[in-house]
Amino acid sequence: MMEEPTDISEVFSVIEDDGETVIIEVSEEDYRRDLAAGLDEEEILKPGRHTFKRGGFLARHPELKPRKKSA
């Protein structure tokens, strides 16, 4: 017998996205909904605004950027 997949996902609102920086907001209601859905407190963002930077990994590791192939 196959187990049914659970569809548990965090809920948040994107406040700003300029292509490089993303600011999201998690409401208290969304936070409590995620907890009630069975997510652990360590797995979800606390209520409030959170700022993330896109592309940070490659900026810190330029040696991993793909090289152009010459024909």
pLDDT in tens, 14-70: 888 888 899 999 999 999 999 999 999 999 999 999 999 888 788 888 888 777 766
Record the pTM: 0.61
Is there a domain that residue 4 lies in? no
Is there a domain that residue 33 lies in? yes
Rounded CA gap, 13 and 26, in Å?
A: 7
Residue 28 belongs to domain spanning: 13-62
Is there a domain that residue 2 lies in? no
Rounded CA gap, 23 and 12, in Å?
A: 10
Is there a domain that residue 25 lies in? yes
The pLDDT score that the predictor gives to residue 5 is: 45
Total number of residues shown for the chain: 71
Pair of tokens at residue 14: 């994107």
What's at 41, amino acid-wise?
E
The pLDDT score that the predictor gives to residue 71 is: 60
